[in-house]
Amino acid sequence: MPIPPEPTLRAAVRWLERLPQSGVARCRALFTNHRDFSDLTPTQYEVAYAWLATTGLLDSLVGPDAPAQRVFTSAISTGGTTWLQDFDVLVRTVDELPEDALLAAEALGISRPKAFEHVSALWGKVDTEERARIGLAGELALFRLIKANVPGDVTHVAANCDGLGYDIAVSSPTANALIEVKSTRRQSRATIYLSRNEFETMRREPTWTLVLLRLDIDMEIVAINTVTRTWIEKVAPIDSSIYARWETARIEVSPDQIRRGIIALPDNISLL
């Protein structure tokens, strides 16, 4: 559903401000009969109430954030905003906020800097959850694919322990591999997050391999590639002081640093 229009957003805030103390019936009577709330129609209040129910905001009426902020972030997250998943690339400054976000912020009395702050925090939360969901789907899909096509022992080690620095261990008569799986549904670019533990495991284990998957909307594998180890080591951060240490690196994978298939497995197997 799209971001609601201004009257719906304003009415939604009024509901959230008064529901905890007054209840639905009393609020409805207040909005219908009191002159202070007559700038919006009863229908607009009902549309706003239905929208609040759809977004889940009625399930938790009291929260740490102000009602206007809660309505704003819910409007952005549920409003079918195609730019949200690429917010980190498309929106670098306040001036680059999309028009639909600016209109929603203006309707709710939220300044542009605050709107940017709220959307940035929302993107971080959404991105983290989405990466975890896509990452797990990719791991499971690749594990099943390798197990069905490669003879020997294939273990999804990350299912039991996520601290080994790799996700899948393969031990076959022809090859051994410790596979770290990174997955994306994006077609235009590939951004991966590499932990320090994964990086140090790569440096320590000669059979460590980073496999980059592209998944479709149904979480099915559409492409399997290996990212060049030497390039990863070259672009990874370097600690510049004994007082600071990097723990996670965000890496934009260069297209010329990927090789089709899983190079560490027999015949550079692509499994597709």
Query: Domains in the chain and their CATH numbers?
Result: 6-110 (no CATH), 152-268 (3.40.1350)
Q: What are phi and psi of 221, to 5 degrees?
A: -70, 130
Q: What pLDDT score does 155 carry?
A: 96
Chunked mean pLDDT (size 10), the chain, 272 residues: 91 94 93 94 96 92 88 90 79 89 94 93 82 92 92 93 94 91 86 95 96 93 94 95 94 93 76 54
CB 213 within 8 A of CB 260: no
Largest CA distance in the chain: 81
Selection from 183, 182, 156 nearest residue 168 by Cα: 156
Structure-token pair, residue 198: 């994964």
Give the list of residues 6+ apart from residue 229 with CB closer than 8 angstroms, or none. 202, 208, 209, 210
For 81, other C-beta atoms within 10 Å of its C-beta total 19
Q: What pLDDT score does 91 carry?
A: 85
Q: What pLDDT score does 267 carry?
A: 63
CB 98 within 8 A of CB 81: yes
Distance (Å, rounded) from C-alpha 165 to C-alpha 179?
A: 9
Half-sphere exposure of 204 (CA within 13 A, CB side): 9
Q: What pLDDT score does 81 carry?
A: 81
Q: What pLDDT score does 131 carry?
A: 84
Q: What pLDDT score does 26 carry?
A: 94
Q: Is pTM beyond 0.75 here? A: no
Phi-psi category of residue 259: left, alpha or beta, with phi > 0 → left and psi -120 to 50 → alpha = beta
